[in-house]
Amino acid sequence: MIDEIGESDWLTPFRRWYDAAAAREELAEAMTVATVGRNGRPSLRAVLLRGLDERGFVFYTNLDSRKAGELAENPRAALCFHWKSLARQVRVEGGVERVADAEADAYFAGRARESQLGAWASDQSRPLPDRATLERRFAEAAARFSGYERVPRPPNWSGYRVVPERVEFWQELPHRLHDRLVFIRDGARWRRERLYP
The set of catalytic residues is 176
Q: Is 187 left (phi over 0), alpha (psi -120 to 50) or beta?
A: left
Among 75, 64, 65, smallest CA distance to 97 is for 75
CA 177 vs CA 2, 4, 37, 41, 183: distances in Å: 12, 17, 35, 32, 20
Under 8 Å between Cβ of 138 and 117 = yes
Under 8 Å between Cβ of 11 and 60 = no
What backbone torsions phi and psi does residue 46 show, to the nearest 5 degrees? -90, 135
Sign of CA dihedral 62, 130, 47, 165: positive
Torsion of CA 134, 135, 136, 142, to 10 degrees: 110
CA 141 vs CA 59, 63, 131, 156: distances in Å: 23, 18, 16, 15
